[in-house]
Amino acid sequence: MAAANPGRHRPGLAASLANLCIWYAGLDASAEALPVAKEWVTTYRELAAADPERYRAGLAYALTNLAAILSKLDRSTDAEQIRRDAAGLEGSS
């Protein structure tokens, strides 16, 4: 649905991905959460590209969660870069 009508359904997709990612993280299922978190970030990047003021904070939050998951998976170098990206978004609001 989000692909067919992104203006209408992409925000809902982002919210669903966020909920699923946080649910996996709560189960300490980082390996399962990782692809969901990546899709969450991708969806928020698309939203932020269309409306930066509205979605910049959500993208920063998604990036922060992705970084936390990467850290749990012992990918600290990747996590640190993503944290810097998130901090850059938070500083530009």
Q: What single DSSP character describes residue 74? A: T
**Residue 27 Cα to chain centre, angstroms:** 18
pTM of the model: 0.86
Residue 83 pLDDT more than 70? yes
Tens-place pLDDT, residues 31-82: 999 999 999 999 999 999 999 999 999 999 999 999 999 999 999 999 999 9
Confidence of residue 10 (pLDDT cuts 50, 70, 90): confident
Cα dihedral 70, 29, 38, 2 in deg (nearest 10): -170
| 69, 37 Cβ separation under 8 angstroms | yes
Domain boundaries, the chain: 30-91
> Is residue 47 a contact partner of residue 59, using CB atoms and an 8 Å limit?
yes
pLDDT of the residue at 2: 47
Which residue reads 């698309």 in tokens? 46
